[in-house]
């Protein structure tokens, strides 16, 4: 019950956050110099056509009228139309989001499994060779430029060893038929296990490239958080009671150490959603980062505006999810 009311409270708090966000995005786009009508119609447009379009776009209305028009469109699920493809953005963006979601999920799975376990073992066996090695690797991981790592992976595993495909989401000679645009699911829906393997193979290199930095960060946070908890009284008590080391570490200590780890996992996941442009570029991954990046090159303002808004919303939602998970992991939080 308490969890439910906490959830409702948090959901209500989302409203001002989302409103503020939409206002910021609106302001940024409107701060860009240049006449939107001129951008849409091109420099050779006649003054009459420009005038008509300005009227049609409502550019002569005061900014707050324009903002509320924009807001009411969003509320109705209308994210506008791309200037280039003329397609509704709300539809167009879905395949890109699915591609990004799939990659993000795999990267975070990799980052969390390796990062959390490495961090725990490092803290447990503090100052052991494992601790030194994994923290050295984590340090390298944090400072590794993603594009360099990606190119090296391609060079070693695709070009030299030819073990793994270097680009794309599927085999272009036997493409997955998109249904949900999550290719793992699409391949399974089609019952094509060979394609599923294909899709998984395509996820490995970009997944590792994208997951390395979060993995390193998670490992470091986990280690320091664990070390702190392990020094506390109740752990000493647990040990004194004669509980096994493993049980103490993974059950008692981890649960209390998990809040900062969860926070960093949430933040990192959010970052990957919008911040995977480099990985997406190197691996030819048709994700949402590149969608927006291409739109910037094309001056496709509606796409830039709505794309940023969608990513920001996802970021906020992930943080909400993390907050709810806190409450689940640590019952004290919801009575705050």
Partner 1 sequence: MKKRLMTSVLAGMLALSMALAGCTGSQETQAPPNAAEGGQTAQEPVTDAGSSGPKQLIYGRGADTKTLDPIRETDGETFRVTENIYETLVTYKETSTEIIPGLAESWTISDDGLTYTFKLRQGVKFHDGTDFNAEAVVFNFERWMDKNNPYHDEEGYPYYNDMFGGYKGDETHVIESVKAIDSHTLEFKLNRTLAPFLANLGMSPFAIASPKAIEAGTLAEHPVGTGPFKFESWNRNDSITLVKNTEYWDSGYPKLDKVVFKVIPENASRLTALVNGEIDLMDGLNPEDVPNVESNPDLQLYKRPPMNVGYLAFNTEKKPFDNPKVRQAIGHAINKQELIDAFYAGLGIPAVNPLPPSLWGHNDSVKDREFNLEKAKQLLTEAGYPDGFKAEFWTMPVPRPYMPDGKKIAEAIQQNLKEIGIETEIVTMEWATYLEKTRKGEYEMCLLGWNGDNGDPDNFLYTLLDKNTIDGNNIPRYASEEAHQLLLRAQTVTNLEERDNLYKQAQEVIFEDAPMIPLVHATPPLAGKANVLNYLPHPKGTETLRNVDLK
Using the minimum distance from each CB to partner 1, give the nearer residue, 50 or 135: 50
Using the minimum distance from each CB to partner 1, give the nearer residue, 7 or 256: 256
State in angstroms the smallest separation of the CB of 134 from partner 1.
Answer: 14
Which residues contact residue 202 at a Cβ distance below 8 angstroms, ignoring those fewer than 6 apart? 165, 168, 169, 170, 171
State in angstroms the smallest separation of the CB of 204 from partner 1.
Answer: 6
**Using CA atoms, how far apart are residues 104 and 242, in angstroms rounded to an integer?**
41
State in angstroms the smallest separation of the CB of 240 from partner 1.
Answer: 17
State in angstroms the smallest separation of the CB of 299 from partner 1.
Answer: 5
**Using CA atoms, how far apart are residues 137 and 60, in angstroms rounded to an integer?**
57
- Whether 7 and 324 have beta carbons less than 8 Å apart is answered as yes
**Using CA atoms, how far apart are residues 310 and 206, in angstroms rounded to an integer?**
23
- Whether 244 and 291 have beta carbons less than 8 Å apart is answered as no
Three-state SS at 172: coil
State in angstroms the smallest separation of the CB of 170 from partner 1.
Answer: 9
Using the minimum distance from each CB to partner 1, give the nearer residue, 57 or 316: 57
Q: Which of 91, 103, 94 is nearest to 278 (CA)?
A: 103
State in angstroms the smallest separation of the CB of 42 from partner 1.
Answer: 7
Tokens 């979601």 correspond to what residue? Answer: 101
Which residues contact residue 224 at a Cβ distance below 8 angstroms, ignoring those fewer than 6 apart? 123
Using the minimum distance from each CB to partner 1, give the nearer residue, 235 or 333: 235
**Using CA atoms, how far apart are residues 313 and 17, in angstroms rounded to an integer?**
9
State in angstroms the smallest separation of the CB of 260 from partner 1.
Answer: 20
State in angstroms the smallest separation of the CB of 41 from partner 1.
Answer: 6
- Whether 66 and 80 have beta carbons less than 8 Å apart is answered as no
Using the minimum distance from each CB to partner 1, give the nearer residue, 76 or 173: 173
Using the minimum distance from each CB to partner 1, give the nearer residue, 243 or 324: 243
Cα 193 from chain centroid (whole Å): 27
- Whether 124 and 231 have beta carbons less than 8 Å apart is answered as no
State in angstroms the smallest separation of the CB of 54 from partner 1.
Answer: 13
Using the minimum distance from each CB to partner 1, give the nearer residue, 80 or 286: 286
DSSP assignments along 89-104, one per residue: HHHHHHHHHHHHHHHH
**Using CA atoms, how far apart are residues 9 and 323, in angstroms rounded to an integer?**
12
Using the minimum distance from each CB to partner 1, give the nearer residue, 166 or 319: 166
Using the minimum distance from each CB to partner 1, give the nearer residue, 22 or 122: 122
User: Which 8-state DSSP code applies to residue 335?
Assistant: G
Tokens 């409107």 correspond to what residue? Answer: 30
Q: Which residues here bind partner 1, judged by CB under 8 A?
A: 40-45, 49, 53, 84-87, 92, 95-96, 99, 109-110, 113-114, 117, 150-151, 154-155, 157-159, 162-169, 171-175, 178, 192, 194, 197, 200-201, 204, 244, 246-247, 250-251, 281-284, 286, 290-291, 294, 296-299
Strand ranges (E), 187-246: none
- Whether 98 and 75 have beta carbons less than 8 Å apart is answered as no
């Amino acid at each position: 019950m308490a969890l439910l009311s906490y959830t409702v409270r948090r959901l209500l708090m989302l409203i001002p956050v989302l409103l503020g966000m939409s206002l910021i995005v609106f302001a940024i786009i409107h701060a860009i110099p240049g006449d939107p009508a001129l951008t849409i119609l091109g420099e050779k447009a006649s003054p009459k056509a420009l005038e008509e379009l300005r009227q049609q776009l409502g550019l002569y209305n005061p900014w707050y009228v324009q903002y509320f028009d924009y807001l009411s469109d969003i509320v109705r699920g209308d994210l506008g139309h791309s200037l280039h493809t003329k397609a509704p953005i709300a539809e167009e963006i879905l395949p890109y989001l699915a591609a990004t979601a799939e990659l993000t999920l795999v990267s975070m799975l990799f980052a969390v499994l390796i990062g959390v376990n490495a961090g725990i073992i490092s803290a447990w066996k503090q100052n052991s060779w494992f601790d030194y090695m994994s923290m050295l690797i984590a340090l390298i991981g944090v400072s590794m430029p993603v594009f360099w790592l990606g190119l090296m992976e391609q060079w070693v595993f695709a070009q030299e060893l030819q073990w793994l495909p270097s680009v794309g989401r599927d085999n272009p000679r036997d493409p997955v038929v998109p249904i949900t645009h999550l290719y793992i699911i699409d391949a399974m829906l089609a019952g094509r296990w060979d394609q599923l393997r294909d899709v998984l193979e395509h996820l490995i290199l970009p997944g590792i490239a994208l997951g390395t930095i979060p993995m390193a960060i998670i490992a470091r946070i986990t280690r320091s958080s664990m070390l702190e908890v392990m020094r506390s009284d109740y752990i000493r008590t647990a040990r004194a009671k004669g509980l096994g080391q493993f049980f103490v570490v993974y059950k008692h200590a981890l649960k209390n150490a998990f809040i900062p780890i969860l926070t960093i996992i949430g933040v990192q996941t959010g970052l990957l959603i919008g911040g995977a442009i480099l990985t997406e570029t190197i691996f030819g991954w048709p994700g949402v980062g590149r969608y927006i990046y291409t739109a910037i090159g094309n001056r496709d303002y509606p796409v830039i505006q709505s794309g940023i808004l969608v990513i920001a919303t996802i970021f906020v939602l992930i943080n909400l999810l993390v907050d709810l998970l806190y409450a689940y992991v640590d019952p004290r939080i919801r009575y705050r």
